[in-house]
A and B are shown apart, each in its own frame.
Chain A
Amino acid sequence: MIYFDHNASTPVLPEVVEAMRDCLAGLPANPSSAHREGQRARAAVERARAQVAALVHARPDEVVFTSGGTEGDHAGLIGAAWALEPRGRRVAISAIEHHAVHGAAEVLARSGFEVAHLPVGTDGWVPPDALDALPAGTTLVAVMLANNETGVLQPLAEIARRAHARGLRVLCDAVQAAGKVPVDVELLGADYLVISGHKFGGPKGAGALVVRRGAPFEALFRGSAHEGGRRGGTENVAGIVGLGVAAEQAGRDQPAEARRLLRLRERFEGLLHAAVPDLVVHGARAPRLPNTVNASFPGARSDHLLMALDARGIEVSAGAACASGAVEPSPVLRAMQVPRELAVAALRFSLGRASSEAEVAEVAAAVGAAVRAVRAATGGAGA
């Protein structure tokens, strides 16, 4: 099996498995308990908080543990919008945000907030000057650091600079970026930042929301004073410990791993071009994550390709899945004005730690064969 779907999830690192096993077996207490066993659990949580803070260059007390990206996006967008409500009831999100941010914006719209959508250019970039068009009363803007489908890195620092000049706060969904490129909340200028453990070798169900000091915030989950009153609920100790270990590893390995993956991806794209000369790589002109290739194969529908590659033991991703699991044309590609016939023929390849020269060669060859087979079987038009 060749796994080229690391943007969906990554294998858990062995060190993480070990740390979590020790935690599950050896730290039974509630970190909020006053007794010694409780204090041991608390120590594990706080060690993880420091590890996570280090990954994104935040202060430990700015880190709020969550159940992952979706919760982080909800808590961040809604919690900030609520806290900023005295200044206005408008928020803006980019058109290519993850579903979780769109979902959080729907929650706000449900209670009367106005939600504006920042457009995206054909290269997958959110133009910073789009902020200039936002109406008065806008308090918060959400732009992701790296798009999950195309890997395109957004000009976040410039967006934050313009936002702050207008008195807007900035939420950055860095779920796909963390562990793959340097993420420095200070340099980016984000007021709120979201990461998720399973995208960089940690467990599913553990993530963090960074709330910068001074950034207004109201808790979404209430009823107890966990996480400094920013997120009620007994901590997922094992998950948090795993997240911390993964964050430490990712921070240590990221620079070298990014260089390795970039070389590998360039090799992969070259081989793909050779196998399918008319392919279209989305976001090719923009800076991208080193591990991601999103390409359309004209005349070969992505759901056919996905199944054909799966049958050859190669796991990739196609567009966005709807509730039924069927593959639909990606809203991100739509926002980039990719024509529909290309959008329904797109695959996302996302490499990771185990990816090798041999794997990219094998996948490129298999993609070529699958594209030829699908075109032959469906008359090239995509049935």
Chain B
Amino acid sequence: MSGGLRVLVAMSGGVDSGVAAALLAEQGHDVTGVTLRLWCHGHVPAAPRACCTLEAIEQARAVARRMGFPHFVVEAEEVFRARVLQPFLDDYAAGRTPYPCALCNQHLKFGDLLARMRTLGADRLATGHYARIEPRAGGAPALLRALDAAKDQSYALALTPRAALPHLVFPLGALTKAEVRAHGRRLGLEPWDRPESQDLCFVPDGDYAGFIAKQPGGTRGTTPGPFVDRDGRRLGTHRGIIHYTVGQRRGVGLTAAEPLYVLAVDAARNAVVVGPRAALEAPGLVTARIDWLADPPPAAGAGAVVKIRYNHAGAPATLHPRAGGACEARFAAPQAAVTPGQLAVFYDGERVLGGAAIERALLSDEAAVPDEAATRGDAVRRDDTAARGAAATRDEAAGPDAATRDEAAARDDRATRGAAAPAGDHAPGHASAGAPAA
């Protein structure tokens, strides 16, 4: 991108978006920085109007001052609560393991901020995400993985509206984290050595259950109920479904011949289904309605690589459209811990074809549906399996390293992450916070 464009840059206060903004300014673009204020963690007596995100906002402002471009803080708490937080709470109460960062990107960064870009008369919207945009002749640009595979955040961007793609700029897409830090030092944007958060920006201490309990209606999913095996036999009592996620082993606390893993969370019966590691594997998945980034969308039976959580390596699969705009993916080899609520993101090589929340794992005995029949009505899915199903579905595989949510988050500390500040760079940890580290 050559100089001279007017660019709105979403700045979280983290190193990534700070360097992204600074690089654009350095290239001669007319940069305006903006930080979304999503969330306030209550008030302290000494500063009644202070906000938890003040430090992050101040960091973003410092970059703007240093580079000499204007910066604004934008109140986005209402949109955040309606479009990100409430679905997050609802998903947990429904026994799912949500991935709020994708919703935040979809609705706030590439929704609200895109609107703001237009009102400013700006040409582009930039963020500090590690991903690339590649122009395509005669169509919308393609969203690609970052060059640095270790930092790639394309998974978190899969819900970006296709219409937004022509306006987006990801200045870090071709850089490594080390290069970004070097740019930060070169540009005098200190201090960039502080540890980055591993948790959701709105649950900085990682205590999801404690956070949910404090929200209005937060008692949902906190009633103790039965641990059951795949045949419905009661094995013990769980602490409330919000404490469990598919693939989790620690915290189950049941005595058995072999370690027991959470296979499914059945909110309708307030039950947590557990079973052996081998039962965690599934032959495929079905997504929620998907808005493809690729145009035209993949043909029925097309091959793709699917990532089922942020840190998943990706698995080859074939794609099959389903009724209502859903997509069924059949894995070439069974995958462990297909977790409803997490995203399934489909790749053709470097390119993101699209993504959507995982609705359910495919049943091991679920017959392959002819694509034509399926698009008419998903006729094959049996209602009785649906009942057991949510449970039984996950009966198929073993997360190699299943762990509790907290452990998964801790484990993810090893990975270098994007800054997790509120408006900001997506923190990959969110993704796997509820999923087993695989």
Contacts and interface: CB of A to CB of B under 8 A. Distances in A.
Contacts of A373: 118-119, 121
The interface centre, meaning the residue of B53, B57, B70, B72 with most chain A CB atoms within 10 A of its CB, is B72
A303 B72 contact: yes
A307 B115 contact: no
Interface in B55-112: 57, 61, 70, 72-75, 79, 111-112
Contacts of A305: 119
B54 A311 contact: no
A374 B37 CA distance: 19
A326 interface: yes
Chain A interface size, under 10 / 10 to 19 / 20 to 34 / 35 or more: 20 to 34
Interface string A303-319: 11111101110000000
B120 interface: yes
A377 B122 contact: no
A312 B32 CA distance: 12
A311 B121 contact: yes
A8 interface: no
B120 A324 contact: no
The interface centre, meaning the residue of A307, A324, A373, A374 with most chain B CB atoms within 10 A of its CB, is A324
Contacts of B118: 373, 376-377
A328 interface: yes
The interface centre, meaning the residue of B51, B61, B74 with most chain A CB atoms within 10 A of its CB, is B74
Contacts of A304: 115-116, 119
Interface string A334-356: 00000000000000000000000
Contacts of A327: 74-75
Interface of A is mostly: helix
A34 interface: no
Contacts of B115: 304, 377-378, 383
A143 B270 CA distance: 58
A324 B37 contact: yes
A322 B120 contact: no
B58 to A, nearest CB: 9
A136 interface: no
Contact of B120 (A308, A325, A378): A308
A303 B121 CA distance: 15
B49 interface: yes
B50 interface: yes
B178 interface: no
Contact of B74 (A311, A312, A326, A378): A326
A373 B121 CA distance: 9
A383 B75 contact: no
A18 B121 CA distance: 40
Contacts of B73: 324-326
Contact of B75 (A323, A326, A376): A326
Interface string B313-337: 0000000000000000000000000
B299 interface: no
Nearest to B49: A323
A156 interface: no
Contact of B54 (A307, A324, A377): A324
B32 A311 contact: yes
Given A307-B32, A311-B32, A323 B120 contact: no
A311 B122 contact: yes
The interface centre, meaning the residue of A304, A308, A322, A383 with most chain B CB atoms within 10 A of its CB, is A383
A311 B75 contact: no
A330 to B, nearest CB: 13
A324 B75 CA distance: 9
A57 B50 CA distance: 39
Contacts of A323: 47, 49-51, 54
Contacts of A311: 6, 32, 120-122
Contacts of B75: 303, 322, 326-328
25 contacts: A303-B75, A305-B119, A307-B119, A310-B70, A311-B32, A311-B120, A311-B121, A311-B122, A322-B49, A322-B51, A323-B49, A323-B50, A323-B51, A323-B54, A324-B73, A325-B57, A325-B61, A325-B72, A326-B74, A327-B74, A373-B118, A373-B121, A377-B116, A378-B119, A383-B115
The 8 closest A-B pairs by CB, nearest first: A325-B73, A377-B115, A326-B75, A377-B118, A326-B37, A308-B119, A311-B120, A324-B51
Interface of A: 303-308, 310-312, 322-328, 370, 373-374, 376-378, 383
Interface of B: 6, 32, 34, 37, 47, 49-51, 53-54, 57, 61, 70, 72-75, 79, 111-112, 115-116, 118-122
